[in-house]
Amino acid sequence: MNVAFFDVDGTLLPHPSLEKRFFWSLLLARRIRAANCLVWAAQLAGLRRPEDSGARCDSKIYLRGVSAILPEPGQVRWLPEFFPAAIECVWWHALRGDEIALATGTLAPLADFVKAGLERELLWRGVGTKIAVIATRLATRGGRWTGKVDGVPIVGEAKAAAAREFAGSRGVALSRCFAYGDQTEDGAMLRAVGNPVAVNPVPGLRREALRQGWQVFDWRPCPGRTAGTRRALNWKGEAAR
């Protein structure tokens, strides 16, 4: 058995990120306090340097006091469709018997939505695979979020470390594992595995992928796709070398 690690935003799902979509849904529903937004905006304004990226990911003050109870995935209207080629890729790994793990900096409750959607897609294809989630956890108190991260955000080196720990707990060598990501920060995870794949990579990651000889896939949305579509797709897309 091998492990296939998938980033979420930009890799399995199109941008904007799930957290941005979640933020705007809460804001439109008037579930976020104006004071939280002001404090959050002030924090982000003071974190402009590249080395501040970890602190930016650690700031969830806009969620302070918001109920941690979320609707069922089927009731969430702002979730985007998966890239069709991404579904085919996950399916390919499931058919191989690989363990599949979401390794993402997005919030764990949002990653759980993705997990449920992927498991449903696989079940429609006749594969009952359970997907693991490695995501940024949120601290709670009294059933509400505190606005703080529980542990560390799963980005950059923390994502690579989480992948190492996960594979080690399964007794799987990282040299046998796959990893898929789109951001420069995903490079740490991709460098850690034996089968790295840059998906829809930003320019920095694309340059590294081409320099290292990694596979590069460009996956695109299919606007006319429905959840039950069984169309045969080439999950590898076009290798941009």
CATH code for 3-239?
3.40.50.1000
Indicate the DSSP class of residue 98.
Answer: -
Question: Residue with structure tokens 């793990």?
Answer: 101
Tokens in use for 66?
């918001």
Query: Is the pLDDT score of 53 beyond 50?
Result: no
Closest CA to 11 of 114, 109, 93, 94: 114
Q: What is the pLDDT of residues 155-172, one digit of tens each?
A: 999 999 999 999 999 999
The dihedral formed by the CA atoms of 138, 143, 146 and 147, expressed in degrees to the nearest 10: 50
The domains of the chain are located at 3-239
Residue 10 DSSP one-character state: T
pTM, two decimals, is 0.87
**Residue pLDDT, tens place only, 162-205:** 999 999 999 999 999 999 999 999 999 999 999 999 999 999 99
Chain-centroid distance of CA 57 in Å reads 14
Residue 134 and residue 21: Cα distance in Å, rounded? 20
Q: How far apart are CA 46 and CA 44, in angstroms?
A: 5
